Chains A and B, each alone.
Chain A
Amino acid sequence: MTIGATSRRKSKYEPRKVPDQKLATSAMIASLDAEGRDTVAAPFGHALCDLAKTRDDIVGLSADLSKYTDLHVFANAYPDRFYQMGMAEQVLISAAAGLAREGFTPFATTYCVFASRRAYDFIIMAIAEENLPVKIVCGLPGLTTGYGPSHQATEDLAIFRGMPNMTIVDPCDATEIDQATRAIADFDGPVYMRLLRGNVPNVLGEYGYKFELGKAKLLQGGNDVLFISTGFMTMRTIDAAKALKADGVDCAILHVPTIKPLDVETIKAEAAKSGRLVVTAENHTIVGGLGEAVAGTLMRDGVHVPFKSIALPDEFLDAGALPTLHDQYGLSVNAITSRVKGWLDE
């Protein structure tokens, strides 16, 4: 399969051969590949438990996915503060709004697809319009499962970017998930946070990273390429930068964990530094995510720079093994480095 090529669906009636390399379809159980890194178990669940020690206002709710969003850690530690809402995302969200109206800080979990699709009207009208401090924390962001389009939240950032009052966070790793959970608990307003679950890689620890809600952070400087990346794609741009360095390409990395509100000042200031190719990278469709947000703000403010985006295509994605899919759809380190080299040669 050509790196970066988009899929074209075969006919369901076309028989298939058994592949040589038998990779398993990544279901919802698999964690994101640690790629040789240290991992931390259930950073979200543990951070929430720690917060709950001193915060009586924190409660947790899930629509039958507490085990798959690491909320079960909280549920086991604080069973009287956890509400199992059943497979019912609309009452999950509505009840969270009602609890918030009565003074509580609810953390409501499900998968990104279900929050952004099934529960949207309830999030916008019951929570966002009233600016309630509900934290919607969701697993399986973008392409983190090979289960197929029903579970691949390719467009959730685009959907929630359109929602007024909503703060959106896409954390990179275990360190950031821990810090961001604490930060959003302190923030007096609604938040949608994407989540990596299970054994989550830890990368930002070695950078002395400090999460600040609404702030982009320059992880490293560089003169040839400015990566502007979010979520786990920052892990990928870190690795891609190392690989490109070996080829004499010097890369800066600006990590943008808060998609909304976007840290436009930092993004503009870095992008405006001349002589660099700006490359956005996100675990999300090319439509309406980080890339288009950055492009829009740069154009409006007169920052005209060479600009490319790495993102998922505007398609329903294949089912299959995650490593294959990440290569196929351009999210793997190999895919990133080869595309950047191609752009630099243009």
Chain B
Amino acid sequence: MGNHDENQHRQFRFTTQAFKKCALFSLAASAQSATNPQNCGTWGDVLNAQTHHAGSNVSLARRAWQIRRNALLMGEVQGQGYIGQALGSADTLATAYFHAMTYRADDPEWEGRDRFYLSIGHYAIALYAALIEAGILPEDEIPTYGMDDSRMPMSGMAAYTPGMEITGGSLGQGLGIAVGAAMGLKRKNNPAFVYNMLSDGELGEGSTWEAVMSAVQWKLDNLIAIVEFNNQQADGPSTKALAQVPEAAKWESFGWHAQSIDGNDLDALVAAFDTARNLDEPRPRVIICNTKMCKGVPFLETRESNHFIRVEADEWAKAIAILDEDKPE
């Protein structure tokens, strides 16, 4: 994770970029315009927002661990769930929510926030786990996961959950909506980023590629796509369907800046997010996160056919116990 100085350096690089953009925004904010939204704030506000993550001196490894644990607790509530996906994407979500993104936990619709779009609606359990760790969702509602009247339904619904920006379920839609949001942010001179997390399966949907093309056309340098590439979809490996390795080359040929990394390596994730955020080029950027399903719980990692992994009733506690044996600082 690097020492304290290194963390400070990363924060400084980010906030310099944010300040540049915010300065532009402040200039625009002073002009009379009906599209001027609530101010993203002053330079001081930006710094404060950056450190609004609950306990910002907690290590990323610990955050990712906590996300895994939250997800397992939710899976145990229902006795089922897309837990393989949650375990695999925990590192990516930790980096997004606890290193890269600007937001206010107590104000999930704060205009200055970075937007996080979960295009893969069935990864809701993973996002809930991150939102709980971020303090946007309350920990005491974990036992309501998937229940009637819950704020945490199995498939992500914007209307049900604070911090859930779009409604998922039908795949291949998020990137297109993110294109529109990124356009809208530019219209308002709002320096916030839009992150869209999509799966390798969604790379099959033509709508994804319409959005890929459109993002380049509109020079959306405030759009960051994150591809969760675990090479698993409902009927088998994504590379036996429509995904390819290397996937980055496809995106580059369309005009995106593309990075392909080990999505379970926190150092690699931090570097990739920083590169994506700080890239000073008028084009969108994608981080292809090659992840392992069920990462963090060895007996699940080796289980077969794990798109909707079968977990026996007593195995949830067993998985949590294994995590607890290796709790990071």
Residues of A within 8 A of B (CB): 55-57, 59, 83, 85-86, 88, 90-91, 93-104, 106, 121-122, 125-126, 129-130
Contact = CB atoms under 8 A, between A and B. Distances in A.
Nearest to B36: A56
B167 interface: yes
Given A98-B177, A126-B166, A130-B167, A103 B159 contact: no
A91 B176 contact: yes
Interface in B166-210: 166-167, 169-170, 173, 175-185, 187-188, 206-207, 210
Interface of B: 33-35, 37, 158-159, 165-167, 169-170, 173, 175-185, 187-188, 206-207, 210-211, 213-214, 217-218
Given A98-B181, A102-B184, A104-B184, A57 B176 contact: no
Among B37, B167, B177, residue most surrounded by chain A Cβ atoms (within 10 Å): B177
A100 B187 CA distance: 12
Nearest to B186: A102
Question: Which of A95, A101, A122, A130 counts the most chain B CB atoms within 10 A?
Answer: A95
B180 A97 contact: yes
Contacts of A126: 166-167, 173, 176-177
Contacts of A99: 180-181, 183-184, 187
Given A56-B33, A86-B214, A98 B182 contact: yes
Given A94-B177, A95-B177, A125 B170 contact: yes
Contact of B180 (A55, A88, A98): A98
A57 B182 CA distance: 15
Given A97-B177, A100-B180, 16 more contacts: A56-B34, A57-B35, A83-B218, A90-B206, A91-B176, A91-B213, A97-B176, A98-B179, A98-B184, A99-B183, A101-B166, A103-B35, A122-B173, A126-B176, A129-B167, A130-B166
A125 B214 contact: no
Nearest to B181: A98
A125 B168 CA distance: 8
B179 A95 contact: yes
Contacts of B173: 94, 121-122, 125-126
A210 to B, nearest CB: 28
Given A56-B35, A91-B176, A122-B176, A102 B210 contact: no
A88 B34 contact: no
A98 B167 contact: no
A47 to B, nearest CB: 19
Contacts of A55: 34
A62 B8 CA distance: 45
Contacts of A101: 165-166, 177, 180-181, 184
Contacts of B35: 56-57, 103-104
A96 B210 CA distance: 14
Contacts of A95: 176-177, 179-180, 183, 211, 214
Contact of B214 (A56, A88, A122): A88
A320 B108 CA distance: 56
Given A91-B210, A91-B211, A94-B211, A102 B169 contact: no
A119 to B, nearest CB: 9
Contacts of B214: 85-86, 88, 91, 95
B169 A96 contact: no
B215 to A, nearest CB: 9
A125 B217 CA distance: 25
Q: Which of B165, B167, B180, B213 has the most CB of A within 10 A?
A: B180
Contacts of A56: 33-35
A126 B280 CA distance: 31
Given A83-B183, A98-B179, A90 B217 contact: no
Contact of B170 (A97, A106, A121): A121
A57 B36 CA distance: 10
A93 to B, nearest CB: 8
Contacts of B34: 55-57
A304 B197 CA distance: 55
Give the top 8 A-B pairs by smallest Cβ distance, nearest first.
A98-B180, A94-B176, A102-B184, A95-B180, A56-B34, A91-B210, A98-B181, A88-B210
A294 B198 CA distance: 44
A91 B179 contact: yes
Nearest to A103: B37
Interface centre among A59, A94, A98, A126, by most chain B C-beta atoms within 10 angstroms, is A98
Contact of B159 (A96, A121, A130): A130
A103 B180 contact: no
Nearest to B187: A104
A28 B179 CA distance: 30
B235 to A, nearest CB: 20
A289 to B, nearest CB: 26
A206 to B, nearest CB: 37
B160 to A, nearest CB: 11
A96 B207 contact: no
Contacts of B188: 102-103
Contacts of B178: 98
A196 to B, nearest CB: 28
A290 B187 CA distance: 40
B181 A102 contact: yes
A103 B184 contact: yes
Contacts of B217: 86
